[in-house]
């Protein structure tokens, strides 16, 4: 029995020793904090430089986008003014055509009130015959 107790205690001791020694080995594998800062400083400087480059690119892109927005706004205002001018021109043309149509209608109405040229010719011929007849009477 003592042998089993000794064996059990030794196995327990070895397992505990293995369990507690693992973290110590991991700590020994990691460099000390002084070395961490020395090795990380170039990496941090590189990351800082990359962030500055990204910020610069973002600022440039934002400036380009603002310029593009301003150009688009100007273009849209120009297009809107052009369309407004075209609409005003079309309205002026329609007004002119309406005035011409009204004028032509008024002329047609006036012409409709005038006697027909053929009627005037017939009346004129009849009047000439009458006048000729009167002249013939005077000659006699």
The model's pTM is: 0.42
* Integer Cα distance of 37 and 52 in angstroms: 21
> 18-52, pLDDT tens digit by residue?
655 555 444 455 555 555 777 888 889 999 999 99
> 44-101, pLDDT tens digit by residue?
999 999 999 999 999 999 999 999 999 999 999 999 999 999 999 999 999 999 999 9
> 121-140, pLDDT tens digit by residue?
666 666 666 666 655 666 55
């Amino acid at each position: 029995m003592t042998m089993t107790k000794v064996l059990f205690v030794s196995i327990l001791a070895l397992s505990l020793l293995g369990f507690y020694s693992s973290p110590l080995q991991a700590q020994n594998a990691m460099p000390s904090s002084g070395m961490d800062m020395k090795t990380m400083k170039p990496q941090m400087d590189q990351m800082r430089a990359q962030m500055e480059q990204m910020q610069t690119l973002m600022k440039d892109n934002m400036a380009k986008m603002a310029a593009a927005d301003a150009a688009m706004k100007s273009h849209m205002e120009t297009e809107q003014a052009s369309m407004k001018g075209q609409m005003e021109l079309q309205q002026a043309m329609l007004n002119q055509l309406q005035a011409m149509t009204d004028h032509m209608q008024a002329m047609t109405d006036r012409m409709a009130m005038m006697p027909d040229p053929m009627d005037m010719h017939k009346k004129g011929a009849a009047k000439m015959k009458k006048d000729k007849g009167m002249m013939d009477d005077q000659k006699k």
